[in-house]
Amino acid sequence: MGRVTERRKVIRIRDGAVSTRPDTLVAEEPLEIRLNGKPLAITMRTPGDDFALAAGFLVSEGVLGRADELQNIVYCAGATVDGSNTYNIVDVKTAPGVVIPDITLERNVYTTSSCGLCGKASLDAVRTTARWTIDDTAGDTTPPVRLAPELLASLPDRLRAAQRVFDRTGGLHAAALFTEDGELLDIREDVGRHNAVDKLVGRALQNGSLPLSRTVLLVSGRASFELAQKAVMAGIPVLAAVSAPSSLAVDLAAESNLTLVGFLRGASMNVYAGEHRIALRAAAAQG
């Protein structure tokens, strides 16, 4: 839509020298998500992939899980004097017969905040609404997902190399999906890391690829409860982050059989849960 970046004049100071120049900034605008015509949530996001963002958000909310449950997504006219379209409101229409869960105010508060009204309520809600169990195998003849630390260590550089808008702005988070062999499947950027993940999951829903049972989700920042929740709701078995996880994210990972890796930097990383999917050397595991 041509609104991913914007230009602003800045005063630049370098080694005492002062100059004026244009700077490229990442765009940030509100997106209102409506469900069957009724307002549901507002998120601040980088414009682009808005339909995927809305679809992924509804996967996280337990509303959608299959492509055939989604009838369509359309932009609505914005709240302007002339009624013109601001492209900041989308309406998601579910297919006939799809049962809409009771998305209460309490549910929305903790889903959109990265923390919770209380830890137990948050964990229980994800457990009761998750469509899939994160199993170690996708079938009787399929081997478990097992990742070498060296493979995980190579992923942040590949994520960074694919961040096209970050190179121009320095102000975007990114989320990427990799296969268990390290192949990059998709990458999305946004001012909000949770939005970047929703865009990935929403595209997977639209493509009929859920659950993402043999993939690795890598995020450019920390691993909050919210991101662990989104991984679980999409059936993703491995979540890795270049920064720290929260305590509630670790609790959810342990309860959901999710492998959670934090501080993934160079050859170093911390494994907080689901270590059975990491091919640790015997000596290191004993130490």
Catalytic, out of 41, 98, 115, 138? 115
Q: Is 118 a catalytic residue?
A: no
How large is the angle between the packed helices 50-60 and 225-233, nearest 10 degrees? 90
DSSP 235: T
Residue for token pair 């609104």 = 3
Measured CA to CA, the distance from residue 95 to residue 273 in angstroms comes to 37
Please enumerate, as own/partner, the contacts of 107-110 that have beta carbons within 8 Å and a separation of 24 or more: 107/61, 108/40, 108/41
Residues 6+ apart with CB under 8 A from 212: 177, 201, 204, 234, 235, 236
Beta pairing partners, 218: 176, 240
Q: How many CB atoms lie within 10 A of CB 154?
A: 14
Nearest to 195 by CA among 26, 44, 64, 61: 44
Positions marked active-site: 115
